[in-house]
Amino acid sequence: MSKFLEKVNKSLIRVPLNEKIMFTKHMSMMVRSGMSEIESIKLVERQVKSRGLRIILKDIIEGLENGQFLSATLKPYEHVFGRLFISIISLGEVSGTLSENLNFLSDELKESQKLRSKVKSAMIYPMIILVATLGVVSALVLFVLPRILPIFSSLGAELPLTTRILIAVAGFLQNYFFLLVLGAVMLFIIFIIVMRIKVVKYIFHRILLVTPFAGEISKRYNMANFTRTLGILLRSGVKIVEAVTTTSDIMENLVYRKALIEASEYVQRGEALYDYLEKKTSIFPPTVSRMIEVGEKTGNLDENLDYLAEFYKEEVNENVANLSSVLEPALLLIMGGLVGFVAISIIMPIYQITQAF
């Protein structure tokens, strides 16, 4: 029972990406300077802020003191660091290049952090505009309009269509606001729960890939991750079948994960990787299969993958910048339209009443 609880507790541990970057960078520097792995990790442990990472480091120190390899001590925390991370460290231990591999991992984690940050930051401003729009309209409908309505009713004037629509919406929100909020929260919770079902998540990821604009960004983001990770593994000496399998584990999109598992089985049968990718043009662009074909035939596959990773990273950056430039004016127009509709709906009957007098 205690072992089960210990396993559950380990599976709950999470470590921020910036802490993992700091861990690998500091470890690389200290191992290069001649410090032992145990001394290095003890020194890192005193600097980390994450409670989860501190727990992991204590466990690692205990494993190293018992004669285990660093990669073996990290194995129970594969959900934290990922299979790629552990594979690169294991290769470094075998080849005697642990310091270089740790430094390389630190750089790759930074690149991954930059890519995610750019995608997230592009959505911050549009979300602020959307929230501001909903806030302004809600304030007008829930607080301003109820104070004006009694005046309209007392005068018995015929109200314009826009005002009648606004009154109906305001009445609905006032009567069912709590239920609407509760319903939205419940839908969000149901969505989170349903998305844990693998089949549903796969279907969602498939739909995402064919969604206009967002689908292109998703494809290029996944291509950047796929080519960069595969290139890292091949350059580190991992055989192509194992490299493709490991790459599938780090893919967030289940469509790509399934495709790469199939690709590894295909390659294991002695077929070429590019030949499989050519059959999946809906998710792997022809550019990728062509560059991989050239790389496999010339022996420069890792270099070609690095080129593709850089190419798709720039494509993602460009797409994200375009997304911001499209969304921002569109949301501003929507905000202006909603606020204008509410303002006209309030001003028009006042104007009509004053004209009657």
Check pLDDT > 50 for residue 2: no
Q: Would you say 70 and 86 are in contact if contact means Cβ atoms under 8 Å apart?
A: no
Q: How many CB atoms lie within 10 A of CB 51?
A: 11
Phi and psi, residue 46, nearest 5°: -75, -15
273 closest CA partner among 260, 257, 258, 254? 260
C-alpha distances (whole Å) from 280 to each of 84, 203, 251, 313 are: 24, 17, 16, 21
pLDDT at 7: 47
Domain residue ranges of the chain, discontinuous segments joined by + = 2-81, 115-357
CA torsion angle for 162, 164, 167, 168 (degrees, to 10)? -110
Q: How confident is the model at residue 255 (pLDDT cuts 50, 70, 90)?
A: very high
Dist. CA 236–CA 91, nearest whole Å: 7
For the segment 298-304, the average pLDDT, to the nearest whole number, is: 87
pLDDT at 6: 46
Say whether 211 sits in a helix, a strand or coil: coil
Check pLDDT > 50 for residue 8: no
Dist. CA 230–CA 281, nearest whole Å: 19
Location of structure tokens 């396993």: 7
Could you tell me the maximum CA-CA distance found in the chain, to the nearest angstrom?
A: 95
pLDDT tens track for 125-141: 777 777 777 777 777 76
C-alpha distances (whole Å) from 209 to each of 161, 175, 261, 275, 283 are: 41, 39, 18, 22, 8
pLDDT at 27: 83
Dist. CA 290–CA 284, nearest whole Å: 10
pLDDT tens track for 76-95: 888 788 777 887 788 777 77
**3-class SS shares of the chain: helix, strand, coil, % to 5:** 85, 0, 15
Burial class of 277 by CB neighbour count within 10 A (0 to 12, 13 to 18, 19+): buried
pLDDT at 155: 60
Dist. CA 271–CA 267, nearest whole Å: 5
Q: How confident is the model at residue 164 (pLDDT cuts 50, 70, 90)?
A: confident
C-alpha distances (whole Å) from 12 to each of 24, 55, 72, 77 are: 21, 12, 19, 10
For the segment 221-247, the average pLDDT, to the nearest whole number, is: 85
282 closest CA partner among 303, 253, 310? 253
Mean pLDDT of the chain: 80
In the CATH scheme, what is the homologous superfamily, with its name and number, of domain 115-357? Type II secretion system (T2SS), domain F (1.20.81.30)
Tell me the torsion sign for CA atoms 36, 38, 43, 48. Answer: positive
Dist. CA 245–CA 260, nearest whole Å: 7
CA torsion angle for 142, 145, 151, 153 (degrees, to 10)? -80
Of 83-87, 293-297, 305-309, 324-328, the one with minimum mean pLDDT is: 324-328
Total residue length of the chain: 357
pLDDT tens track for 310-332: 898 888 878 777 776 777 777 77
Tell me the torsion sign for CA atoms 230, 235, 238, 239. Answer: positive
Q: How confident is the model at residue 154 (pLDDT cuts 50, 70, 90)?
A: low
Q: Which ranges in 195-253 belong to alpha helices (H)? A: 198-210, 214-235, 240-250
For the segment 194-198, the average pLDDT, to the nearest whole number, is: 86
